[in-house]
Structure 1
């Protein structure tokens, strides 16, 4: 029996017995899930764990139960609700896509039409088409890359191997239950065919797995050596006045775009920041917070000062300090806020 002929049936039988219960998922045999919930979950799950996504997904769907409600929501409310989930360009694209779908009246049902939506890439289009609409589409995420690399013993390193991974993934994707098959591959990669110490004896695909026969499946996929991330320095300013702190809303594009934040020295524009503080004050050093972004790490010095008046020479707003948790600060600035407040 070839890999192609046996994989789908074996994996779907395993999935029928072991499918994870997730708030956005329809269990095997149930009606297809709401495309809005599939789309929202897939956007949130990009580079983010299931455990981290669950509370955000539940908060979003409770507040905005369908794509029309989300499309009608103010940008700042969506960005604030997204705070802490990271990769904020996803939230900006979420808004654009929701409004495009609302204008169309519904989600398109085919992979090709889904790809026309703003901010919706090849992976997400394939996932929605297969999972929400039952279309045959080849869904390849990091889990699927790992499973396919091992199943076919693909020796070429990533990212160069991705073309072959997609060809091999297409060869085992069935015409029927393609959505269940995609989710089964994700579950297999998440719980069985893991990055380290894969549980091969529990795997439904062990009989046809070429990497397992070599005795070292964890070696695949071959990944390039990671380069050390550069470290940037910057400064952020905690400006208090009468029980409130000064917050700014960042420009809609770029680092943490569209999010509320503490004012800073412009570190995000590339290199060390050089913008002056938005207010003349006697600054105190509150400490340093560290945060890792995709391409660099940041050491952010936190300066604390008192404003004698409410006049600030940059646009922004005064926010009650005792309600700072509701401001929707991204993780970096939430760390800075906690650093300051811990000193009171």
Structure 2
């Protein structure tokens, strides 16, 4: 590559960091903009499918060196605490975003990227290049821009994205605990108005993350009341919280989580991770999707140089490949979300899965990808 192509990546989460590392190693000049410092906690299920390990290994990343916990089994319970268990087809691992993002950022910096701690306020495309202005007023330039700024951002508003115009009723809450749980199991517990995931992460901590409809939350008024009056109506969750000691001073929360369809390209900004599309957390595969999406995009940008694509060819190819990889998973996630909001449908679905155990594995496979070889 005679002259390195300058790429600005807005957002230093899983997708942004993975894309930055991939593209740095491929010889591109990377500026990664992140408004927050590392390490920090995020509202996240903190479970990743093993489908991404071959790709991460190709980039020199091994999460088990950072304390990741191997997970091989899955358990689901209904609102009444009835369980069903199965082995995960691919398996996965648990690791906190606090540890994961911090170490990934260090690898990105080591690879040669320029990390800019700043909040990007606006992005303008003109004369086949981009101008980015940050909160301080400083201006940066780039040949391409990757938007990996998460579920919801001020940039979604400035880019006039369709989904941002609609308020959504979903609230996510996350905290870490010290509690006796089965280390190799990720569990999902249904409650009225939502579902709660529990799994082990590094340093003997247990991550608890739940998604709920705001209507279900409002009746309780606060997180403590919601836990007592709603979550603990599931006997398994009541048993967990009875023996769990909180690590955080208070849980983290995020509102206005949107599961609406999003465009993968907005005004020539290439969207990645949650900025491109968000699968329902009950599928347990949002983190792997962010990483795989970064792989798809970074590979397309490499092919741009090798095959001398136009910008429109890059955008079309990326959109086509993203949709081919994820559209079916997103559709399945929406169907599962609808089922879990209906107690009768959940009951009969559980009975069917008990009678035919392979159904659970098929559902898991339909929301996950296959490991790519490198």
Between 1 and 2, higher relative CO (CA 8 Å, sep ≥ 6) is seen in: 2
TM-score, scaled relative to structure 1: 0.24
> Hey, which of these two has a bigger chunk of helix by percent?
1
